[in-house]
């Protein structure tokens, strides 16, 4: 279901899949799908479970329904058909009476998406004894999509905020809508709540949400390969800056306590010498990296690169394409810590 708020289409958690259409690009599969729409796609119905089942190899329809328990066969048929329409899954009809349909992940579009989701699941999702991912874990991706789409992840990337503060965002939601959503996000484990000054309720991002930034970065790479035009990035510089701000507090660098770090994300349109989107962070007394809304001090180390340079840092641990300066060890340790924290198994 889709609602309109402030001129923007706002989703309720399971929408987006019906609006996606196959791309006109020969090597693309989901034309124009945003990050939030991809998250909704994974969270909707049985799509995520079907993707994971087909990651083990091609399956006939009947076998597929057996490999994805908990859903009626008609639900499996429906969502397998959706994935085929989006060119993530290929369907081949075998001759015979009755005919049999074999479902296979498309290559590379479907297989790359499967590899990303499977890797993220190993790192940050709790699997059932038989290896499947719990339905609630899939649903949490829909909640993350709503948070991302409404700009709440960005709003909370540096510090906690009250519902009143969050209602001032550009999403067009009322205070009561924001308050209700914040409650849902808290129930889903994506937000934590505490009492701030003046006994105001404040919300902040949980570790569970921060660890999902690896998935967001992976979706950006996947979108760059299969969704957007070849000369476009899978996310904007502003979105990449949000991912970095949200993920950095996962890292502890006690050997660099008291130091300040400056990161810059450049877009293709930025003029030479531009700082682009700037991320400020400082290492606190306990070694935790704290993202800052304002410059806390003169930077001890800095790094600068475009979206396509920062994504390999988060997904592959490769820093070689980012320009670094001053205390290069500070940036190298922060990058290593980000990569290790995002992809070392710590299921929720």
Mean pLDDT of 196-212: 93
pLDDT of residue 234: 92
pLDDT of residue 196: 84
Q: Is the pLDDT higher at 232 or at 343?
A: 343
pLDDT of residue 264: 95
Mean pLDDT of 26-42: 76
pLDDT of residue 129: 86
Residue with tokens 């609006």: 19
What pairing do the DSSP bridges indicate for beta strands 89-94 and 191-195? Answer: unpaired
Cβ(253)–Cβ(283) under 8 Å? Answer: yes
pLDDT at 238 over 60: yes
What is the rounded CA–CA span in Å between residue 210 and residue 154? Answer: 12
pLDDT of residue 329: 92
CB atoms closer than 10 angstroms to residue 316:
11
pLDDT of residue 271: 58
pLDDT tens-digit profile of 53-69?
Answer: 999 999 999 999 999 98
Beta strand residue intervals within 244-295, DSSP E: 260-266, 277-283, 289-292
User: Omega before 98 cis (within 30°)?
Assistant: yes
Mean pLDDT of 137-151: 94
pLDDT at 340 over 50: yes
pLDDT of residue 15: 38
Angle among Cα 80, 81, 84 to the nearest 5 degrees reads 90
pLDDT of residue 339: 96
pLDDT of residue 6: 37
pLDDT at 28 over 70: no
Mean pLDDT of 119-125: 93
pLDDT at 13 over 70: no
CB atoms closer than 10 angstroms to residue 236:
16
Least trusted range by pLDDT, from 13-22, 127-136, 199-208, 233-242: 13-22
Q: Is the pTM of this model over 0.85?
A: yes
Residue with tokens 């796609």: 41
Burial 69-107 (b: 16+ CB within 10 A, else e): eebeeeebbebbebbbbbbbbbeeeeeeeeeebebbbbe
pLDDT of residue 24: 40
Mean pLDDT of 144-152: 95
pLDDT of residue 22: 38
pLDDT at 132 over 90: no
pLDDT of residue 204: 97
* Sheet with 289-292, edge to edge strand ranges: 289-292, 277-283, 260-266, 301-306, 323-326
| Cα dihedral 148→150→155→160 (10° resolution) | -90
User: Omega before 108 cis (within 30°)?
Assistant: yes
Long-range contacts from 103-106, C-beta under 8 angstroms, 24+ separation: 103/50, 103/54, 103/58, 103/59, 103/60, 103/61, 103/64, 104/54, 104/58, 105/51, 105/54, 105/55, 106/29
pLDDT at 16 over 60: no
* Banded model confidence at residue 114, pLDDT cuts 50, 70, 90: very high
What is the rounded CA–CA span in Å between residue 4 and residue 105? Answer: 34
Mean pLDDT of 275-284: 94
Q: Domain ranges in the chain?
A: 2-140, 237-343
> Of the CATH numbers 1.10.10.10, 3.40.50.300, 3.40.470.10, 3.30.460.80, which one belongs to the domain with range 2-140?
1.10.10.10
Coil, strand or helix: which one is 34?
coil
- When computed from its CA atoms, the radius of gyration of the chain, rounded to whole angstroms, is 21
pLDDT at 257 over 90: yes
Mean of the per-residue pLDDT values of the chain:
87
Highest mean pLDDT among 5-14, 267-276, 330-339: 330-339
What is the rounded CA–CA span in Å between residue 152 and residue 165? Answer: 10
Residues recorded for the chain? 348
pLDDT at 7 over 60: no
Those residues with Cβ within 8 angstroms of residue 152's Cβ, 6 or more apart along the chain or in another chain: 166, 169, 171, 181, 182, 185
Residue 7, by phi and psi: left (phi above 0), alpha (psi -120 to 50) or beta?
left
pLDDT of residue 97: 63
Secondary-structure class of domain 237-343 per CATH: alpha beta
Cβ(227)–Cβ(234) under 8 Å? Answer: yes
Those residues with Cβ within 8 angstroms of residue 99's Cβ, 6 or more apart along the chain or in another chain: 93
Mean pLDDT of 25-36: 65
């Amino acid at each position: 279901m889709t609602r309109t708020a402030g001129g923007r289409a706002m989703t309720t958690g399971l929408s987006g899949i019906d609006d996606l259409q196959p791309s006109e690009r020969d090597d693309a599969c989901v034309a124009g799908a945003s990050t939030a729409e991809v998250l909704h796609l994974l969270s909707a119905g049985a799509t995520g479970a079907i993707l994971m089942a087909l990651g083990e190899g091609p399956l006939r329809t009947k076998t597929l329904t057996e490999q994805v328990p908990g859903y009626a066969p008609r639900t499996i048929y429906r969502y397998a058909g959706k994935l085929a329409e989006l060119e993530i899954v290929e369907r081949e009809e075998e001759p015979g009476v009755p005919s049999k349909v074999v479902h296979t992940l498309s290559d590379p579009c479907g297989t790359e998406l499967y590899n990303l989701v499977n890797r993220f699941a190993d790192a940050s999702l709790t699997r059932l004894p038989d290896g499947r991912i719990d339905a609630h874990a899939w649903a949490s991706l829909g909640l993350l999509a709503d948070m991302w789409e409404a700009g709440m992840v960005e709003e909370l990337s540096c510090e906690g905020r009250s519902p009143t503060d969050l209602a001032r965002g550009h999403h067009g939601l009322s205070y009561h809508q924001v308050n209700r959503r914040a409650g849902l996000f808290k129930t889903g484990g994506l937000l934590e709540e505490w009492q701030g000054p003046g006994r105001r309720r404040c919300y902040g991002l949980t570790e569970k949400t921060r660890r999902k930034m690896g998935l967001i970065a992976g979706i950006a790479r996947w979108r760059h390969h299969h969704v957007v035009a070849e000369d476009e990035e899978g996310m904007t510089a502003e979105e990449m800056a949000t991912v970095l701000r949200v993920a950095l507090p996962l890292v502890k660098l006690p050997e660099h306590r008291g130091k300040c770090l400056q990161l810059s994300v450049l877009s293709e349109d930025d003029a030479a010498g531009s700082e682009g989107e700037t991320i400020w962070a400082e290492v606190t007394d306990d070694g935790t990296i704290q993202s800052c809304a304002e410059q806390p001090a003169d930077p001890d180390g800095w790094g600068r690169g475009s979206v396509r340079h920062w994504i390999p840092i988060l997904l592959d641990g490769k820093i070689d394409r980012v320009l670094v300066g001053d205390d290069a060890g500070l940036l190298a340790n922060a990058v290593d810590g980000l990569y290790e924290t995002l992809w070392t198994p710590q299921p929720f």
